[in-house]
Structure 1
Amino acid sequence: MNTRYSFPSDSLCNSSTTVPYSSSPPATEDRMARNRPAARAGAPSFLIRTAMRISRARWFNFLRRVFHYQNGSRSDLGSNPFNSSTWMTLELLALLVQISIITFTLSISKKESPIWPMRIWIVGYDIGCLLSLLLLYGRYRQLYVSQVDGFSLPDVEQQRSSEDSRFSHLMNKCRTSLELFFAIWFVMGNVWVFDSRFGSFQRAPNLHVLCISLLAWNALSYSFPFLLFLLLCCCVPLISSVLGYNMNMGAADKGASDDQISRLPSWRYKRVDSNLEAGNSAPANEDPECCICLAKYKEKEEVRKLPCSHMFHLKCVDQWLRILSCCPLCKQELER
C-alpha cells in the first residue's frame, strides 16, 4: 500500500509548501510516473476520439435501430427503420440501378447463347425488381397516410383504421411472397451459374458476369443480419473494452428542444369501444398503457404520439424527450 504523508519543512516554516513523503523508493515512483501518462497519450486518445465520432454518427445510430428492430417486435410499421425517407431513397436508387444495368446488358447480349437459361433467370430477377418498386411505392403511400392521420382527430383515425389494417395486411403478404420468390430465385441462379459441368462464360460472357454480380449483391444482402450482429455484438464491445469508452452511449446527451416536442401531435385520450376492438377496426398502434410510467391510459388524459406511431402520456414522453430525443420503445430519433 502506497500511503502518502505531508508535513512542513523546518527550512520552509514561513512557506506553505509541503513535501510529500512516500513509502516507495523515489526512483521507482519516478519511473511509474513517467510510464503512466505515456500509456494513455498519443494513439489511444486519437482512437477514442475516432470511436466517439463513430458512435455519434447517424449511420451508426441507424444500425443500432436496425438491430433493435430485427430482435424486437415488428407489429408497428412506424418502428421499422427501413421505412425512413433516407433508406427508402437509397432502396429506390438501388432498384433503378439494377433495372438499368439488367436492361442494358440484355440489349447488348442478344447474340449470346448460354447453355443454362441465364436469360430467363435475369428476366425473372428484373421482374422481381419491378415488383419491388411497386411494393416500395405502397410502403411510401402507407407511411404518408399514417403521417397525415397523425395530425387528424382521433375519430377520423378510427374510421380509417379498418382500411389501413387491410392495406397493411396486403402489403405484408406481398412482401413475404416477394422475399420467398427472391430466395428461390437466388438458389436457382447459383445452380445455373456455378454448375461446373457446363461452362457458360465462353458462350455468354456478359450474361455470366451479370449473373455473378447479382448473386453477389443478393449474398451480401442476405448476410447483412449476420454482419450487423458481428459488428454490434462482437466488434463494438471489444473496441469499447480496449479503449475504455462505451460506444453504445455516444448519443446519450442528445435531448430534444421544446420546439421539436411542441410540433408532435397530442390529444385527449378516448377509450375505444370493445366492439370495435373485436372487429379489428381500432388502431393497432395504441397501447393500453404507457410504457414509461406503466400506468393505463384514462379517459380525457393528454397523450402524445411520436413519428414512429408509438403513443405515451404527454408529461411522461415530454420529460423523456428532453433527455433523449428518441422513442423509448423503438429508439427512432426525432427529426431535427
Structure 2
Amino acid sequence: MSAPISNPTPSSDDIVDTTPLLSSNGSHDDISHNQGRRSVRRQSLREAARFLRQASSRRLMREPSMMVRETAAEQLEERQSDWAYSKPVVVLDLVWNLAFVGVALAVLLLSTNENPDTPLRLWIVGYAIQCLLHMVCVCVEYRRRRRRRVSSFSTIEEGNLSPGSARGDSGEYVSLAQIEEDGTSAAKYLESANTMFSFLWWIIGFYWISAGGQALARVSPQLYWLCIIFLGFDVFFVVFCVALACIIGIAVCCCLPCIIAILYAVADQEGASKEDIDRLSKFKFQSIGENEKLSGDTQTSDGGIMTECGTDTPREHFLAQEDAECCICLSAYDDGVELRELPCGHHFHCACVDKWLHLNATCPLCKYDILKSSSNDREEI
C-alpha cells in the first residue's frame, strides 16, 4: 500500500451527500464544453469517488486507495477541460452549432405562411442566438488558452523546466493546467450566463409546445417539428454527459490501472521524464517466511520487507500487512515484485506508478511534486 497517512479525514466527509454527481460549486470555472450544441456543466468525478468512500459502510477500499482515486478524478477533470478546448473538438463544436443556426434560418424562411398560436418563431430565434453566443465564447476561450499555453511553454524553455510544470514567482512548481486556469475571462462569464439562460429557454420552449398540443403539428408543422428536434437534442446531450460522467467515475474507482494505461498510450507526456522516474528509489518486496515468523525476528507475523535495489548499502523497510498493497491497482505485493518509493515516502508497484508519473509528476496519494525533489538533488550535486 503506502506509508501511513498523517492528515486525518475531514469531519465533513462523514456526511453522505444525497446528490453526489451534482457539483455544488457555483464557480464559473466549472463550466466545460461538450461536442454538442451548447456546453453542459461538467459533472465532478471526484464527487462520485468521495460518495463511494462515504456511503460504503463496509469500507471495501481503504482510505489511501480512495484518496488516490479522488486525485485521479481531479486530474481527469483537468484533462477533460484541456480536451474540450482542443482544436478538433472546437472545430466540431463550431460546425455543429453553425449547422443548427443554418437549419433554424432555413425553416424560418420556409415557414413564413405558418401562424402558430404560440410564439415558436421567437423561441427558434432565441435558440439560434444562444448557438451564436456559444460559438463566440468558444472561439474567445480557445484563443485565450492558446496564448496562455504558448506563454507557459516559452517560460518553461527559458527556465529549463520540465514539460509538466513551471516555476511560479514563489519558486514553487505548478502544473500547466493550473497556469491555464488562473483568472477568468469575460467569455467564461458570458458562457455561464448563456448556459443558465438556455436551461430556462428550454423550459419555456417545452411549455409552449405542450400548451399548443397537436394543433401546432397541423397548423405549423415545420416550426413544430423543428422545436421538437431542438428540444430532443438538448435532452440527449444532457443525459449523455451525465451518463458519461457516471461511467468514468465508476471506472476511476474500479478500474484505475486501465484508465492510467489508456491515458499513458494516447495522451502527451505532461509529467516526469524517464530520467526523473529512474532517479527514484526502487525496491524489491519479500514477504515474511514461516521461518522468520517462528523465530520472531519481526514484530508481527504478517507483512514483508522492502529491500532497495541497485546500491551497495541497501535500505530495508518493514511493511505491515495492511501496508503491503498498491493503492493504485489494489493488489497485494507479491514476492519479488519491484516497488517504487517516492520522495514523500509512499510506495507503489513500479508498473503502476511509473505510468502515473509519466502523466503527472506528483504522488497519487499526497500530491507531492517529485520534480521539485529532483531539482533540489541536481542543485546539491
TM-score relative to the length of structure 1: 0.49
From the CA coordinates, give the structure whose radius of gyration is larger.
1
TM-score by length of 2: 0.43
